[in-house]
């Protein structure tokens, strides 16, 4: 892989060897020029002031023959604005490498942060499967071979490492930039800065400890029942059965990292398995609250196939984000669908200085949300588990889509609650002949779990909308499309949310998390599940409108949306356009509303709003406003 | 809510009114009708200068069925309009009721072709706004509107009768051969070339080149192909090309010489009672007019009396 190949050319021991023997050791020209510039303090000349995207960096690197990756890593320190993904700040494994030198005075803005609690939880969760354990055993065998080889040829290296550990350095301090690939999985404040315990200082002893740990985990995987344990009891059972105490577990990661560096291992992706095991060990050794270990022998959806997994799942989202709050002076969490807004401070355990919710300033009502609770035959529709396979409900949903496809131009997006539900209902529609009728009006595209297929489908969907043929896109509420893809302008004139996208409520991890939330934060289970479902629904329907001149309709097709406890959790900008006349609609009423809305929205629209109230300010307006504010 | 008795009937009725209004405003123009049915477009009538043949076709039984194909219609229209000489302004007006278009090829190429041959395409939609129609109109410089109901539709349609403003740039300066026929003598009896009926000379016009009898103007002589018009027709088209400049608003200042009476109707412009005395003034001849005369000059007369009454040749 790219990582391995890069490391083979840039690791510190490779470069040392090349200094003495330049013929046989290839080096990376780009990295060498980077290194020369960095040591001369000359990097800034390579990056004149400006705005650089990844593509810009690559072309800069190609032009100036310098490695864009390491250049970017270095220049993060000097940049005024850095845009990157959440993990670089929240996941301890990468944050302590990339974001270590961000100063206190930085302003951190988390955009589209409605899922931030899930990101925080995933950053501290690890899962271990049979393949991981088998891979770990292979890795351990390889490491022991390497150790034997070194003992025969270069025993000094191992001894030097032993001495260093005795001297009390658990971590290796400032490593050269090309040697650090992943960091300690626990939060920086929780890493012990002490000497590594005596019984794992010697490389062979450490390997023996790891072998016992892997065997213990293997034994735990053989269980036939679902088990849910607290980390404390799990650590206790490790101690009693494998003889590894908590302090040893805590140092697993550091010791492994040091060992791999000493043995000059370059193909790090081969060793990901043992790294996962060590991450797991370090985390259970460090944290006792807010985590639980769940062992599942079978996947609930396929009870015959045995697929055991040990999951260390974090339940407390505030753990990962606490260092960010402590370190930076200003942190802003913002999103278009952050509702209800008072739940987030409770989940992330912080006191907001300002908590504000803004509405959209529009000159015309460019969104038309509707809550549809029944079909034309007045039967209620829902994706509630007991109503899902009712043929009347399926037919009503099908007719809703058919009527809308014949009255709405260009693109329509439909969101379903899960892949299995989408498969089932599309099959039923095919049998009833509804799918063929829909295809008379518009082409149909569908999202699949495969990324390449979905990208192709999306591409063709856009082509169909552009050339006037019109298309419908079937997608899933928690899939890739719902998270990232925009359907603005004619690509999304209507979005239909079929049902309420609850999470899979029988999942053990979810149950454990709900219990933790109830005990620690007093958040009721039903409230949390509803909040999670509705933020997902709001995120899905928010894809259709991206500017003031844009317009789109949203249909929430489930009878449960008319209940106040669900409806009130929708974000303010949707609720402000959800008139009482658009609640509790049936298919024909929704059709009538849709037709009228489309005709109205097709009339010419003055973007700057020069008629009545202004919504697009010019520079003179801003200066006037500033002058008024100063005079007051 | 939707059009009664049927969309086709309403559209046909409004189209008839449009054709009459169109020929009233543009007597020198030609109109042809095309329908799109089952994905294929058919030519309903030839491009001609007489309103009667177009209206007769509209009154006939018009059916609609199947998909609509914008690309096929554009190709057909492009083919016909390519035969028009370059001094003519080419336009297409789509009365579009479908919500999509089912095309055999790449419609973007066809739009490029239309753009290159300078065909101005406009669309009036009956249902909702479609992206491809908007794109078509933006590319070719036309206008895209969607009708809210029947009366709005008629209004939008009649707005297309006067020619679009930016017309002067397209026309190359060419000499166009036209004939100005006279009425024949009373006792001259001949067969008219359009209906093949015996007519007296006084009921028709005599083509100046080939001397055949034609019934009505403007028309194209069937024998020699000369365009036959009368001078009032030309005058009516002329004002679209050279419209009267909009007048400036001025207020009456005390001590101002002249400008106390409207130049058009001679009514006093000074309003007793001290209300604000706003009236208008022509920027070219500097004569003052009241608001009523302003409306009359711009909408009906199409000539400013002040400019016309000046004898100076520099204008």
Do A48 and A143 fall into the same domain? no
Instruction: Express each pLDDT in B156-183 by its tens digit.
Output: 999 999 887 765 555 556 677 888 988 8
Inside any domain, residue A405: yes
A498 shares a domain with A427: yes
Q: Can you read off the two tokens belonging to residue B154?
A: 């008629």
Q: Do A135 and A273 belong to one domain? A: yes
CA pair distance A337, A541, nearest whole angstrom? 10
Name which of B125, B131, B145 is nearest A465 (Cβ-Cβ). Answer: B131
Give domain status of residue A111, yes or no: no
Is A406 in CB contact (< 8 Å) with chain B? yes
Closest approach of chain A CAs to the CA of B217, in angstroms? 39
Residues A73, A140: one domain?
Answer: no
Residue B53 to residues A76, B44, B233: CA-CA distances in angstroms?
76, 10, 20
pTM for this predicted structure: 0.81
Does B107 contact A at CB distance below 8 Å? yes
Option in A410, A465, A599 nearest B146 (CB): A599
Domains identified in chain A, total number: 3
User: Which residue of B lies nearest to A491 if distances are taken between CA atoms?
Assistant: B131
Identify the closest residue of chain B to A409 by CA–CA distance.
B99
Which CATH number is A388's domain given? 3.40.50.300
B83, pLDDT greater than 80: yes
> How many Å apart are CA A424 and CA A419, to the nearest integer?
9
Alpha carbon distance A534, A502 (integer Å): 8
Residues of chain A positioned with their CB less than 8 A from the CB of B125: 602
**What is the bridge-based pairing of β-strands A306-314 and A411-416?**
unpaired
B107/A467 touch (CB, cutoff 8 Å), yes or no:
yes
Give the least confident one: A69-78, B16-25, B190-199. Answer: B190-199
Same domain assignment for residues A387 and A508: yes
Angle at which helices A231-242 and A203-221 pack, to 10 degrees? Answer: 120
Chain A with chain B: Cβ pairs closer than 8 A: 71
Q: Are strands A367-374 and A585-586 parallel, antiparallel or unpaired?
A: parallel
Q: How far apart are CA B181 and CA A297, in angstroms?
A: 101
In a mutational test of the A interface, the residue from B74, B131, B146, B150 whose CB has the highest number of chain A CBs within 10 Å is B131
**Is residue B126 less than 8 Å (CB to CB) from chain A?**
no
Model pLDDT, residue B173: 63
Q: How far is B103 from chain A (nearest CA, A)?
A: 8
Is A596 near chain B, with CB under 8 Å? yes
The number of residues in chain B equals 315
Of the residues A468, A491, A494, A594, the best mutation for testing chain B's interface (the one with the most B CB atoms within 10 Å of its CB) is: A468
Are the beta carbons of A468 and B130 separated by less than 8 Å? yes
Domain termination site, one of A26, A57, A83: A83
Alpha helix ranges (H) inside A408-488: 419-432, 434-441, 451-466, 480-484
A468 to B132: CB separation less than 8 angstroms, yes or no: yes
Touching check for A442 and chain B: CB below 8 Å? yes
Does the residue A309 lie in any domain? no
Q: Are residues A73 and A184 in the same domain?
A: no
Q: How confident is the model at residue B315 (pLDDT cuts 50, 70, 90)?
A: very low
Does the pLDDT at position B75 exceed 90?
Answer: yes
Angle subtended at Cα A626 by Cα A623 and Cα A629, rounded to the nearest 5 degrees: 150
- Taking CA–CA distances from A440, the nearest residue in chain B reads B67
> B99, B102, B136, B145: which to substitute to probe chain A, counting the most A Cβ within 10 Å?
B99
- Chain B residues lying within 8 Å of A601, measured CB to CB: 129
A72 and A178 together in one domain: no
Q: Does A353 fall in a domain? A: no
Are B100 and A409 an interchain contact pair (Cβ–Cβ within 8 Å)?
yes
The pairing of beta strand B119-125 with beta strand B144-146: parallel
Residues of B in contact with A493 (CB under 8 A): 128
* Chain B residues whose beta carbon lies within 8 Å of the beta carbon of residue A407: 99, 127-128
The backbone region for A553, taken as left when phi is positive above 0, alpha when psi lies in -120 to 50, beta otherwise, is beta
Whether residue A163 lies within 8 A of chain B, CB to CB, comes out as no
User: How far does B289 lie from chain A, in Å, by closest CA?
Assistant: 29
* Residues A424 and A563 both lie in one domain: yes
Interfacial A residues in 565-594 facing B (CB < 8 Å): 592
Nearest CA-CA distance, residue A405 and chain B, Å: 9
Interface contact flag, A468 B108, Cβ < 8 Å: no
Q: Is A225 on the interface with B (CB under 8 A)?
A: no
> Does A194 map to a domain?
yes
* Residues A400 and A511 both lie in one domain: yes
- What pLDDT score was predicted for residue A457? 95
Contacting residues of A for B145, CB less than 8 Å apart: 602-604
Domain finish residue from A68, A83, A98 = A83
Q: Are A518 and A371 contained in the same domain?
A: yes
B146 touches chain A (CB under 8 A): yes
Which pLDDT value is given to residue A157? 78
SS3 content of chain A, % helix, strand, coil (to 5): 55, 10, 35
Nearest beta carbon to residue B100 from set A470, A595, A596: A470
CB contact under 8 A, A489 and B133: no
- The answer to whether B58 contacts chain A (CB < 8 Å) is no
- 3-state secondary structure labels for all residues of B111-126: HHHHHHCCEEEEEEEC
Q: Would an 8 Å CB–CB cutoff place A465 in contact with chain B?
A: yes
Q: Select the residue from B100, B130, B150 to test the A interface by mutation, using most A Cβ atoms within 10 A.
A: B100
For chain A, residues with pLDDT lower than 50 are none
**Whether A441 and B100 lie within 8 Å, measured CB to CB:** yes
Which domains, ranges and CATH numbers included, belong to chain B?
Answer: 7-170 (3.40.50.410), 178-239 (no CATH), 246-312 (3.30.40.10)
CB of B132 less than 8 A from some CB of A: yes
Domain that includes residue A30, residue range: 2-83
Measured in angstroms, the CA of A508 and the nearest CA of chain B are apart by 47
Q: A492 and chain B: CB distance < 8 Å anywhere?
A: no
The string of DSSP letters for A462-473 reads: HHHHHTT--EEE
Report the C-alpha dihedral over residues B255, B256, B258, B264, rounded to 10 degrees.
-120
Distance separating alpha carbons of residues A549 and B312, to the nearest angstrom: 51
Q: What is the pLDDT of residue A23?
A: 79
Is the domain of A193 the same as that of A275? yes
Of chain A, the end-to-end C-alpha distance in Å amounts to 63
Beta strand pairing call for A471-476 and B90-96? unpaired
Backbone angles phi, psi at A328, to 5 degrees: -100, 150
Is B128 close to A408, i.e. CB distance below 8 A? yes
Contacts of A467 in chain B (CB under 8 A): 101, 103, 106-108, 132
Residues of chain A with Cβ-Cβ distance to B107 below 8 Å are: 467-468
Same domain, A526 and A382: yes
Which position has the higher pLDDT, A168 or B98? B98
State pLDDT tens for residues B278-312.
788 888 888 888 888 888 888 878 788 888 888 66
Interface membership of B102 toward A (CB under 8 Å): yes
ipTM of the modeled complex: 0.77
Domain annotation covers residue A522? yes
Q: Peptide bond preceding B218: is omega within 30 degrees of 0, i.e. cis?
A: yes
Which pLDDT score, from 0 to 100, does residue A416 have?
A: 95
Number of C-beta neighbours around residue B293 at 10 A: 23
Is residue A133 a contact partner of residue A218, using CB atoms and an 8 Å limit? yes
A490 touches chain B (CB under 8 A): yes
Task: Identify the weakest region by mean pLDDT among A187-196, A472-481, B212-221, B252-261.
Answer: B252-261
């Amino acid at each position: 892989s790219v990582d391995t190949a890069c490391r083979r050319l840039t690791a510190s021991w490779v470069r040392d060897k090349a200094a003495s023997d330049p013929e046989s050791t290839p080096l990376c020209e780009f990295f060498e020029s980077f290194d020369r510039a960095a040591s001369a303090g000359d990097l800034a000349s390579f990056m004149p002031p400006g705005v650089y995207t990844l593509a810009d960096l690559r072309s800069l690197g190609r032009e100036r023959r310098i490695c864009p990756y390491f250049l970017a890593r270095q220049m993060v320190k000097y940049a005024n604005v850095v845009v990157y993904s959440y993990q670089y700040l929240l996941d301890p494994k990468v944050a302590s490498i990339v974001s270590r030198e961000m100063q206190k005075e930085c302003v951190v803005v988390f955009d589209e942060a409605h899922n931030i609690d899930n990101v925080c939880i995933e950053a501290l969760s690890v899962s271990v499967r049979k393949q991981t354990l088998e891979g770990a055993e292979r890795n351990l065998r390889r490491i022991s071979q390497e150790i034997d080889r070194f003992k025969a040829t270069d025993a000094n290296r191992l001894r030097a490492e032993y001495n260093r550990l005795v001297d009390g350095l658990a971590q290796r301090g400032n490593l050269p930039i090309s040697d650090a690939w992943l960091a300690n999985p626990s939060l920086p404040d929780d890493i012990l800065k002490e000497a590594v315990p005596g019984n794992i200082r010697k490389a062979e002893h450490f390997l023996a400890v790891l072998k016992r740990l892997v065997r213990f985990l293997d034994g735990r995987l053989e269980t036939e029942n679902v088990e849910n344990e607290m980390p404390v009891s799990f650590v206790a059972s490790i101690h009693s059965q494998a003889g590894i105490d908590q302090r040893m577990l805590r140092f697993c990661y550091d010791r492994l990292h040091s060992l791999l560096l000493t043995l000059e291992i370059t193909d790090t992706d081969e060793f990901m398995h043992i790294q996962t095991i060590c991450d797991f060990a370090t985390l259970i050794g460090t944290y006792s609250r807010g985590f639980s270990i769940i062992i599942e022998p079978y996947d609930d959806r396929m009870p015959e196939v045995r697929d055991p997994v040990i999951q260390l799942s974090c339940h407390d989202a505030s753990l990962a984000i606490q260092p960010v709050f402590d370190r930076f002076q200003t942190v802003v969490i913002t999103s278009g669908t952050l509702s209800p807004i008072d739940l987030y401070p409770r989940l992330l355990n912080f006191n907001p200085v300002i908590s504000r919710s803004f509405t959209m300033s529009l000159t015309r009502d460019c969104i038309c949300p509707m809550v549809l609770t029944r079909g034309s035959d007045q039967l209620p529709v829902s994706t509630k588990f007991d109503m899902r396979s009712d043929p009347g409900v399926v037919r009503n949903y099908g007719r809703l889509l058919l009527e809308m496809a014949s009255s709405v131009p260009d693109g329509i997006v439909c969101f379903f609650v899960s892949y299995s539900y989408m498969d089932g209902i599309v099959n039923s529609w095919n049998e009833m002949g509804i799918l063929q009728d829909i295809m008379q009006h518009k082409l149909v595209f569908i999202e699949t779990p495969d990324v390449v297929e979905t990208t192709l489908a999306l591409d063709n969907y856009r082509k169909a909308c552009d050339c006037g043929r019109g298309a419908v896109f079937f997608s899933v509420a928690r899939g890739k499309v719902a998270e990232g893809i925009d359907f603005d302008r004619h690509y999304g004139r209507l979005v239909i949310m079929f049902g309420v996208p609850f999470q899979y409520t029988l999942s053990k991890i979810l149950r454990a998390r709900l219990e933790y939330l109830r005990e620690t934060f007093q958040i009721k289970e039903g409230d949390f599940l509803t909040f999670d479902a509705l933020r997902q629904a709001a995120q899905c329907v928010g894809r259709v409108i991206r500017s003031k001149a844009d317009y789109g309709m949203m249909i929430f097709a489930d009878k449960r949306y008319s209940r106040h406890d669900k409806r009130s959790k929708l974000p303010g900008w949707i609720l402000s356009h959800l008139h009482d006349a658009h609640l509790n609609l049936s298919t024909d009423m929704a059709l009538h509303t849709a037709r009228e809305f489309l005709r109205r929205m097709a009339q010419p629209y003055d973007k700057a709003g020069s008629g009545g109230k202004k919504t697009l300010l010019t520079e003179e307006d801003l200066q006037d406003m500033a002058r008024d504010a100063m005079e007051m | 809510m939707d059009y009664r008795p049927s969309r086709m009937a309403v559209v046909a009725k409004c189209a008839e009114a449009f054709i009459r209004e169109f020929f009233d405003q543009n007597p020198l123009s030609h109109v042809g009708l095309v329908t799109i049915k089952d994905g294929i477009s058919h030519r309903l009538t030839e491009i001609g200068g007489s309103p009667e043949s177009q209206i007769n076709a509209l009154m006939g039984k018009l059916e609609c069925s199947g998909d609509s194909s914008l690309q096929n219609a554009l190709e057909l229209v492009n083919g016909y309009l390519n035969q028009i000489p370059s001094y003519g302004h080419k336009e297409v007006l789509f009365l579009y009721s479908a919500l999509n278009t089912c095309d055999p090829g790449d419609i973007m190429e066809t739009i490029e072709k239309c753009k290159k041959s300078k065909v101005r395409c406009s669309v009036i939609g009956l249902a909702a706004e479609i992206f491809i129609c908007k794109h078509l109109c933006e590319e070719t410089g036309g206008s895209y509107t969607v009708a809210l109901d029947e009366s709005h539709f008629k209004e939008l349609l009649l707005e297309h009768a006067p020619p679009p403003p930016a017309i002067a740039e397209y026309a190359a300066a060419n000499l166009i051969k036209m004939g100005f026929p006279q009425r024949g003598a009373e006792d001259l009896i001949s067969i008219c070339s359009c209906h093949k009926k015996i007519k007296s000379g006084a009921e028709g016009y005599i083509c100046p080149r080939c001397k055949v009898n034609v019934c009505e103007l403007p028309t194209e002589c069937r024998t020699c192909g000369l365009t036959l018009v009368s001078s009032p027709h030309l005058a009516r088209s002329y004002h679209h090309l050279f419209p009267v400049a909009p007048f400036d608003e001025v207020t009456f200042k005390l001590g101002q010489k002249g400008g106390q009476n409207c130049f058009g109707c001679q009514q006093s412009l000074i309003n007793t009672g001290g209300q604000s005395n706003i009236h208008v003034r022509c920027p070219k001849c500097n004569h003052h007019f009241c608001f009523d005369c302003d409306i009359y000059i711009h909408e009906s007369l199409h000539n400013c009396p002040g400019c016309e009454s000046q004898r100076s040749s520099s204008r």
